[in-house]
Amino acid sequence: MKLHTLERSFKEIFNQDHEQCFFAPGRINLIGEHTDYNGGKVFPLAITCGTYALVKKRNDRTIRMASLNFKREGVIEGSLDELAFGSQKGWINYPNGVVKLLIDSGHAIETGFDVLFYGNIPNGAGLSSSASIELATGVMLQRLFDIEIDRIELIKLCQKVENEFIGVNSGIMDQFAIGMGKEGQAIWLDCETLEYEYAPIELKEEQIVIMNTNKRRELASSKYNERRAECEQALERIQRKLTVQSLGEVSLDEFAKVKDMIGDALLAKRAAHVISENERTEKALHFLKAGNLSAVGQLMNESHRSLRDDYEVTGKELDTLVELAWKQDGVIGARMTGAGFGGCAIAIVKTEAIDRFIQNVGTHYAKECGIEAEFYTASAGEGAHEIMKEKA
Ligand code: GLA
Cα–Cα distance for residue pair 70/92, rounded to 1 Å: 11
CATH of the domain at 132: 3.30.230.10
CATH of the domain at 272: 3.30.70.890
Shared-domain flag, residues 57 and 183: yes
> Is residue 366 a part of any domain in this protein?
yes
DSSP state of 274: H
Shared-domain flag, residues 281 and 213: yes
Helices (H) and strands (E) in the chain, counts: 11, 13
What is the CA(301)–ligand 1 centre distance, in A?
A: 19
SS3 call for 273:
helix
224 CA: nearest ligand 1 atom: 11
> Which residue's CA lies nearest to atom 9 of ligand 1?
171
pLDDT of residue 391: 47
Shared-domain flag, residues 165 and 291: no
Ligand 1 is surrounded, with C-beta below 6 A, by 33-34, 36-37, 170-171, 173-174, 338-339
Question: pLDDT tens track of the chain, all 392 residues?
Answer: 789 999 999 999 999 999 999 999 999 999 999 999 999 999 999 999 999 999 999 999 999 999 999 999 999 999 999 999 999 999 999 999 999 999 999 999 999 999 999 999 987 889 999 999 999 999 999 999 999 999 999 999 999 999 999 999 999 999 999 999 999 999 999 999 999 999 999 898 999 999 999 997 766 778 999 999 999 999 999 999 999 999 999 999 999 999 999 999 999 999 999 999 999 999 999 999 999 999 999 999 999 999 999 999 999 999 999 999 999 999 999 999 999 999 999 999 999 999 999 999 999 999 999 999 999 999 999 999 999 976 44
Q: What count of other Cβ atoms lies within 10 Å of the Cβ of residue 104?
A: 12
168 CA: nearest ligand 1 atom: 8
Shared-domain flag, residues 178 and 256: no
Instruction: For strands 206-212 and 113-119, give the pairing.
Output: unpaired
> Is residue 392 a part of any domain in this protein?
no
Is residue 17 flagged as an active site residue?
no
Torsion of CA 309, 314, 319, 322, to 10 degrees: -100
pLDDT of residue 317: 97
Number of structural domains in the chain: 2
Shared-domain flag, residues 186 and 229: no
Instruction: For strands 113-119 and 62-67, give the pairing.
Output: parallel
The closest alpha carbon to 329, from 351, 308, 296, 346, belongs to: 351
Among the listed residues 174, 190, 310, 319, the single catalytic one is 174
Shared-domain flag, residues 170 and 48: yes
The closest alpha carbon to 113, from 134, 144, 143, 148, belongs to: 144
Global pTM reads 0.97
> Is residue 101 a part of any domain in this protein?
yes
35 CA: nearest ligand 1 atom: 12
Q: Which residues form the domain of 126? A: 3-201+381-387
Residue to substitute in 27, 29, 30, 36 for testing ligand 1 pocket (most ligand atoms within 8 angstroms of CB):
36
pLDDT of residue 390: 61
> Is residue 294 a part of any domain in this protein?
yes
Could you tell me which residues come within 8 angstroms of residue 273 by beta carbon, excluding any fewer than 6 positions away?
34, 306, 307, 310, 311
Shared-domain flag, residues 192 and 48: yes
* DSSP secondary structure of 68-115: GGGGGG-PEEEETT-----TTSGGGHHHHHHHHHHHHTT----S-EEE
Shared-domain flag, residues 80 and 54: yes
Shared-domain flag, residues 111 and 215: no
Shared-domain flag, residues 156 and 256: no
> Is residue 292 a part of any domain in this protein?
yes
What is the CA(329)–ligand 1 centre distance, in A?
A: 30
What is the CA(34)–ligand 1 centre distance, in A?
A: 6
Shared-domain flag, residues 89 and 213: no
> Is residue 242 a part of any domain in this protein?
yes
Question: Amino acid identity, residue 145?
Answer: F
Residue to substitute in 30, 31, 34, 217 for testing ligand 1 pocket (most ligand atoms within 8 angstroms of CB):
34
> Which residue's CA lies nearest to atom 1 of ligand 1?
339
> Is residue 163 a part of any domain in this protein?
yes
What is the CA(289)–ligand 1 centre distance, in A?
A: 24
Half-sphere exposure of residue 168: CA atoms within 13 angstroms, side-chain side: 21
SS3 call for 141:
helix
> Which residue's CA lies nearest to atom 2 of ligand 1?
170
> Is residue 31 a part of any domain in this protein?
yes
Residue to substitute in 35, 45, 47, 174 for testing ligand 1 pocket (most ligand atoms within 8 angstroms of CB):
174
Shared-domain flag, residues 172 and 243: no
Could you tell me which residues come within 8 angstroms of residue 232 by beta carbon, excluding any fewer than 6 positions away?
none
